[in-house]
Amino acid sequence: MNIFKRIFRIGQAEIHSVVEKMEDPIKMTEQGIREMKADLDESLEAYAKVKALAIRTQNNVENKRAEASEFEKKAIILLQKSEAKELETEKAESLAKEALLLKKQLLLEVEELKKQAAAHQNSSEELYKNVEVLKFNISKWEAELNTLKARVKVSDATKLVNKQLAKIDSNSTISMLERMKEKVEEDEALSKAYGDIALTNKNVVDEINEAIGADDVLDELEQLKNKLKNE
């Protein structure tokens, strides 16, 4: 049985479970398409047989109708021969009657064959519709399969890249960033320490200079005082 038929025969709620259990969805889909193509071949063969039967039956209708017409013509000829005294009246009428009976029988067969031909034609039309549906579904599933294959390739590639990125982040990048952060913090602390040392050195020098400068001012002040006293 076609794999898609097997799937859709089960409940809708179970379909996802069945699909999830498939080992390889692509291979399963390819197998399903192969089975659908096998169904298509069988349907085409059945369609060809039924169509041929419909044609043969219709041909039989035409042949029987033509044969019935011939018997009618023969009945007329027999009656004409009777009138022309070429054939005994009793015999001519008897044969003409038999010809008309055969004509009637043939016309009955024609009606039956017409019904059969119509039935065969309807069957062939239904089979043709089924064939077209199968062709459409096969084309649709083949397109879906190509899309699925492309999506699987993209998914696998994305998965691989993300996996590699995840490995890099966990093993290398984060550790490297942490080390860089620590290094920057160390450099910042060292820079601040140098700044503090430089500031401290500057303050000592300033104090010395200020101390020396203050003594000069006092000396000059004393000199001015002495000068004023002498005057």
**Does 115 reside within a domain?**
yes
- The predicted pLDDT at position 202 comes to 53
Task: State which residues form the domain around 63.
Answer: 3-182
Distance CA 169, CA 137 (A): 46
**Does 206 reside within a domain?**
no
pTM over 0.75: no
Q: Are the beta carbons of 66 and 106 closer than 8 angstroms?
A: no
What is the Rg, in whole angstroms, of the alpha carbon atoms belonging to the chain? 56
Q: Residue 44 has which token pair?
A: 């085409």
CATH number (domain holding residue 9): 1.10.287
- Mean pLDDT, 10 residues at a time, over the chain (231 residues)? 47 49 73 90 93 94 95 94 91 94 96 95 93 92 88 84 68 68 78 66 57 60 74 65
Q: Tokens 């590639």 appear where?
A: 157
**Does 21 reside within a domain?**
yes
Q: Which residues of 111-149 are buried (b: 16+ CB within 10 A; e: fewer)?
A: eebbebbeebbebbeebeebbeebeeebeebeeebeeee
Structurally, how many domains does the chain consist of?
A: 1
